[in-house]
Amino acid sequence: MVNKPWRRLNGERIENIKESVNQAIIRETKAGNKLKVCIGTDSQVYGKVIEFATVIVFLREKKGGFMFIHNEKVTRKMSIKERMLQEVAMSIDIAYRLCDLLDEYDVELEVHADINTDPQFKSNAALNEAMGYILSMGFVFKAKPDAFASSSCANKMV
């Protein structure tokens, strides 16, 4: 597994993700912005390599947003269902690491799954497990078409 460090959209490295999230919340709160955080992961298969991108999207109420990005590559064959659940596990991992901090500042958190709610799509095979996993961890769950953090933001980083 190749694990890249967290970074900002401009490529600037983030050494400590929890501290960077803390600083971002403090900065945005001082600027008078109400924040919401959405976390999502997407993946892409390139031959024998699967690349994952996880994003932490900070939404400023009525004032745009910004995100932090993390990429990982694995050399392993996975079924579509296994890959979808791996994406969810990666999102939950970072959400769990940040939830105490977000609770402290009363920042709303959503976990977005790049899984289609339409049974005609292959990713739908993982919908029930993904939803159960996210909800059982106490997080707000969003799937396509409402899961922009994974299906739009992370999708562009993979």
Which domains does the chain carry?
2-157 (3.30.420)
Whole-model pTM: value is 0.95
Mean pLDDT score across all residues of the chain: 96
What 3 state SS string does 13-49 have? EECCHHHHHHHHHHHHHHCCCCEEEEEEEEEEEECCE
Answer yes or no: is pLDDT of 2 > 90.
Answer: no
Reported as a single tens digit per residue, the pLDDT across 20-63 is: 999 999 999 999 999 999 999 999 999 999 999 999 999 999 99
Which tens digit of pLDDT belongs to each residue from 141-158? 999 999 999 999 999 999
